[in-house]
Structure 1
């Protein structure tokens, strides 16, 4: 059985992993917007895929919905930016 401290640490870790994944999307998006090459757009798509996996993991393993919802909104915004970037390419 998991004690409260361990459960809290795991919640924080899952949310931190999600936050890091979404930060990676934002970084890749910034680079792609500055230099919209096919390779840069592919990098954004790859980081979005990784962030989607981290998001599903967070929903499965975390008890705290509010930070996950905020991060999911950020990810959805990045997905819209990606679609716009691909249309403008």
Structure 2
């Protein structure tokens, strides 16, 4: 197996895809928190939904469950943070 295809496999592995999705969601949530705005909250929610789908795929793969668990915990924290941001926006209206 060539080095390139080994790298491609790692990038396409469900746990890698989950990690990438969680990182993108984390950036989106942080942006929504630092600039509370309905559009940014919606974008963060979409990123979280995508990350949750990646989580389900990674769980079904049944490998590297410690990493899956860490990402799941991080997702739960981000959902709480986004909910707080949504509440803040609603209170400002």
- TM-score w.r.t. length of structure 2: 0.80
| Structure 1 residue 30: Cα displacement | 1.4
Superposition map of 1:51-62 within 5 A: 51-62=51-62
Q: Is the 8 A contact 1:25 1:44 kept in 2?
A: yes
Superposition map of 1:12-51 within 5 A: 13-51=13-51
Q: Runs ≥4 in structure 1, deviation > 3 angstroms?
A: none
Superposed CA RMSD = 1.7
Q: How many residues align?
A: 81
- TM-score w.r.t. length of structure 1: 0.83
Alignment match, 1:69: 69
**Which segments of 5 or more consecutive residues in structure 2 lack a partner in the other structure?**
1-5
